[in-house]
Structure 1
Amino acid sequence: MSMHLAHYLGLLHRSQHELADALRAVRRAHPDEPDLTGVCERLAVQCGNNARRLEPFVRRYSAHLSEEPERMHSALFSGARRGSLGLLRDLHDLYLLATQCEISWTLIAQAAEGVGDEELLDVVRHCGAETAAHLLWLRTLMRQIAPQTLIVAP
């Protein structure tokens, strides 16, 4: 059982690093968006911290880091784009990457309950809540900029 838990821990650990990198790429690509710049960096730091919080469990369950998140990252986020449509597309990509993390937190929480690992469950609850907040922020921002971006010509 812990073999598959190890797989998901490795997947999530790598996904958190990939999301942090993508957030920083979007921040750099859109320096004219001051609110975005600060929030992207704060969320990237949280993702890095979440990955570090997972490390003891990755070791505990003898996880071997998976290649899947890297493949997913390259498929979903090939680099930040320019302009207002680029920003909307970048936010959409970030949302998909964050969703990967969110479902992994959820599945790992189920496994942590199953194996009675309260320490892992505490980490998952805290970090999963942060990821849910990231998704809410991304969804809200996309909804705010979509009408102007999709209707008004550049």
Structure 2
Amino acid sequence: MKLPVYLGLLHTSERTLAESFRQVAEGHGAEPDVYYLCHSLAEQCEAHEQALSPIVDRYGETQEIDEPERLHADRLSTTRSGPVGLLRDLQDLYLLASLVDITWTAVKQAAQGLRDAELIDVVQRCEGETATQLKWLSTRMKQAAPQALIVAE
């Protein structure tokens, strides 16, 4: 069974996304909505990670040794400055959140196949919140794009 590989990916990706949300919040503190929402979304990711703990205890978590670079995402270690920097940082968060989202989808399919009610419950709750994170990131990028891409600095 390869479910532990995806549980490991999900566990690590949620942690990475939480750290990245915090990095963007601190790097763009002049944008109050970004600051506060990114901190809230980081807490949400940490709650997802905690919700996975009993599942990981039951099934385990592993990493594929033969292709680790393909099942890995680095957190944002720095933020960029200015309007274009904000747009790019939000775009990076969107990419990380997309990885988390599609991984929840794959784990959900496995949970349904296993008829694991506890895992299905965790997935449904966390998957919905991740979808909301993606919607906010998309909306915030749409808001930031005109300022970043058209208005001269």
Please, what TM-score do these two structures have when normalized by structure 2?
Answer: 0.92
Tell me which residue corresponds to 1:62. Answer: 60
Could you tell me whether the CA contact under 8 Å between 2:48 and 2:126 is conserved in 1?
yes
CA-to-partner distance for each residue in 1:9-42, whole Å, 9 max, x for gaps?
1100010000000000000101110111110000
Separation of aligned partners in 2, 1:22 and 1:70? 17
Greater helix content: 1
Tell me which residue corresponds to 1:130. Answer: 129
Task: State how many pairs are aligned.
Answer: 150
Runs of 4+ in structure 1 deviating by more than 2 angstroms, as ranges, are: 64-71
Question: Where do residues 1-154 of structure 1 align in structure 2 (5 Å cutoff)?
Answer: 1=1, 4-64=2-62, 71-73=72-74, 77-154=76-153
Q: Any stretches of 5+ residues in structure 2 without a counterpart?
A: none
Q: Any stretches of 5+ residues in structure 1 without a counterpart?
A: none
Separation of aligned partners in 2, 1:16 and 1:84? 26
Separation of aligned partners in 2, 1:18 and 1:41? 14
> Which amino acid is 2:31 matched to?
E
- Secondary structure at the aligned position of 2:73 is classed as helix
Identity of aligned residues (%): 49
Structure 1 residue 68: Cα displacement: 5.1
Change (3 A) 1:94 1:53: same
Please, what TM-score do these two structures have when normalized by structure 1?
Answer: 0.92
> Which amino acid is 1:135 matched to?
L
- Secondary structure at the aligned position of 1:72 is classed as coil
Separation of aligned partners in 1, 2:8 and 2:71? 11
Change (3 A) 1:65 1:58: farther
